[in-house]
Amino acid sequence: MTAVATPIRFDSARAGSDAECEARIVAARKRLGDRAVILGHHYQRAEVYKHAELTGDSLKLSRLAAQTEAEFIVFCGVHFMAEVADVLSKPHQKAILPDLSAGCSMADMANLRAVERAWRELAEVLDPDETITPVTYINSAADLKAFCGEHGGIVCTSSNATNILQWAFGRREKVLFFPDQHLGRWTAHQMGVPAEACAVWDFDEPMGGLSPEQIRKARVLLWKGHCSVHQMFQGSHIEQFRAKHPGGTVISHPECSFEVCAASDLVGSTEFILNAIHAAEPGSHWLVGTELNLVNRLAEEMKPQGVTVQFMSPMVCMCSTMARIDPQHLAWCLEQLADGHIVNQIVVPESEAKLARLALDRMLAVS
């Protein structure tokens, strides 16, 4: 059956229960066969995650999907992830996001208009194209990746941020890092960049709220963005854990605040956290500073080995935008594709995709 683009919309009144959707997902997946591949991000809710053929972080999933011949890449993640999948996929592949409202609050904190305005304001103090390398975290919109591609910049992930910043400093004396200030600050610290050489660029303020002298002095300009999930973790949570479990291990994602990262025993990407805990000694106790669904999944996986995995915050703290991908939207999306209707396709304009791909290719070459 030839699929065609259609404006059919999800009808919440006819969505069905989780149990009903479970059967519908299995049936629609069977009808699609190898024409589709379902990607599940680590932060995805369990009732959706279990249907994924490929699991991992955003970049890994996009690269794996591009190695398949599936016509439909059904990304159970958020908008920027589906954009990366579209940019890196083969011409015949189509990136599908089951719910178009699944975004990323961090990515939304940096938009192209604000970044271009910052670049113009920086030009009042120095020549940014000669002195600043723009670096965007993978958790950003495609047009910001394209901005980096156009201005000699690059993309980074939480795994390769140190290598990327080394590359950036090898080209120009300063870095504009967006949208996550915490990853940028921790990475700079790991590279020996002193705190006074990092300045936060407040995108709501003229000139980022900085004086010309502060701009000239800074080696790293940190966009005032953050992850709403990782922002919840506090140093006091670690103190309480250590009081109860003095022999325990604290591991955190670098999207956490500097206070949390500095107080942790280990800091690293999602894959780093997974690998470290999977290799944990029986009887060990871990406090984990990252998204709740991932931590709960790890806790269940490690119980048979006698490893205790504890979520860092006493408050429920999951990625609410990721959670918008639910069994109802996944069932509807797969059924529409199986019936020949292309819904919720994410398409990055080719001119934008070309520049975004340039920034991504630079990253992959450095990594």
Confidence (pLDDT) at 7: 66
Q: Does residue 364 surpass a pLDDT of 70?
A: yes
Q: Residue 221: inside a domain, yes or no?
A: yes
Q: Residue 251: inside a domain, yes or no?
A: yes
pLDDT-derived band at 18 (thresholds 50, 70, 90) equals confident
Q: Residue 174: inside a domain, yes or no?
A: yes
Strand partners, 289: 252
Confidence (pLDDT) at 318: 65
End of a domain among 227, 262, 284? 227
Q: Does residue 2 surpass a pLDDT of 50?
A: no
Q: What is the pLDDT of residues 269-284, one digit of tens each?
A: 999 999 999 999 999 9
Calculate mean pLDDT across residues 295-319.
90
Q: Residue 361: inside a domain, yes or no?
A: no
Q: Residue 354: inside a domain, yes or no?
A: no
Q: CATH number of the domain at 88, please.
A: 3.40.50.10800
Q: CATH number of the domain at 146, please.
A: 3.40.50
**266: domain range?**
230-311
pTM of structure: 0.92
Q: What is the pLDDT of residues 203-213, one digit of tens each?
A: 999 999 999 99
Calculate mean pLDDT across residues 110-120.
97
Shared domain check, 238 and 177: no
Location of structure tokens 């918008």: 324
d(CA 109, CA 258): 19
Shared domain check, 298 and 265: yes
Q: Residue 79: inside a domain, yes or no?
A: yes
Phi, psi of 140 (to 5 degrees): -155, 165
d(CA 247, CA 91): 52
pLDDT-derived band at 323 (thresholds 50, 70, 90) equals confident
Phi, psi of 248 (to 5 degrees): -80, 170
Q: Does residue 296 surpass a pLDDT of 60?
A: yes
Q: Residue 353: inside a domain, yes or no?
A: no
End of a domain among 180, 206, 227? 227
If one counts the domains in the chain, the total is 3
Shared domain check, 135 and 46: no
Confidence (pLDDT) at 314: 83
Confidence (pLDDT) at 335: 96
Helix axis angle for 142-150 and 112-122, nearest 10°, is 30
Shared domain check, 140 and 202: yes
Least confident of 50-64, 113-127, 203-217: 50-64
Shared domain check, 180 and 238: no
Confidence (pLDDT) at 319: 73
Q: Residue 362: inside a domain, yes or no?
A: no
Shared domain check, 156 and 191: yes
